[in-house]
Amino acid sequence: MNVFLGVMFFVLGSLAVYVFQRKKYTKVTEEDLVCEVVQKAFIREKLSDHNEHKLVRELLKSDAFIKDLSLTAKYKGMIVGYILFTKVKVGDETLLALAPLAVLPKFQKKGIGKSLVEKGHGVAKKLGYKGVVVLGHPEYYAKFGYEPASKWSIKAPFEVKDENFMAIELIPGGLTDVSGIVEYAKEFGL
């Protein structure tokens, strides 16, 4: 009887330790690290709702997600920047939306954002996408060639200043025949 009780205590004890350890040491995934970078990058942004990291988590599971267009920038093995392009519909055409672009505050103004945008554009072009739309600072995105989307009669599905809703052609004339209201992935909640 004593042996039986001893074995029972041992088994239950081991089980309790296993459950506790699993709970305590849940593995941090790349997705968690990316979301942390996004959250920290937007922390001081006045025009942010500070929920971009939650949106990223949803977008990573969405139909609009393209694995090759979810890109990280690393410094000494640590994720310091992130960019995501997801599919959007404009009329019959599938374009991309750039959102979000995020660089950790300490690593900003070092060219990391620029390299992520340029890398993303390169991959998107290879995948055959004709253009990208973005909501953001015109002074920043103009550096890459973004222009007000109204130039092509591409409209945002929300109220926004003309200069803040932009687009870029990834191939010359890529947006010539594209016009309409951008339909974002439902995860954007628009």
Q: Which residues bind ligand COA (CB under 6 A)?
A: 41-42, 45, 100-103, 108-114, 136-137, 139-140, 143
Q: How far is the CB of 40 from ligand COA (least distance, A)?
A: 9
| Residue number of the CB atom closest to ligand COA | 113
137 or 155, CB closer to ligand COA?
137
Task: Please say whether the beta carbons of 183 and 63 come within 8 A.
Answer: no
63 or 162, CB closer to ligand COA?
162
Q: How far is the CB of 131 from ligand COA (least distance, A)?
A: 17
Q: How far is the CB of 112 from ligand COA (least distance, A)?
A: 4
126 or 143, CB closer to ligand COA?
143
Contacts of 5 (CB under 8 A, 6+ apart): none
Q: Name the β-bridge partners of 168.
A: 132
46 or 61, CB closer to ligand COA?
46
Q: Name the β-bridge partners of 71.
A: 83
64 or 116, CB closer to ligand COA?
116
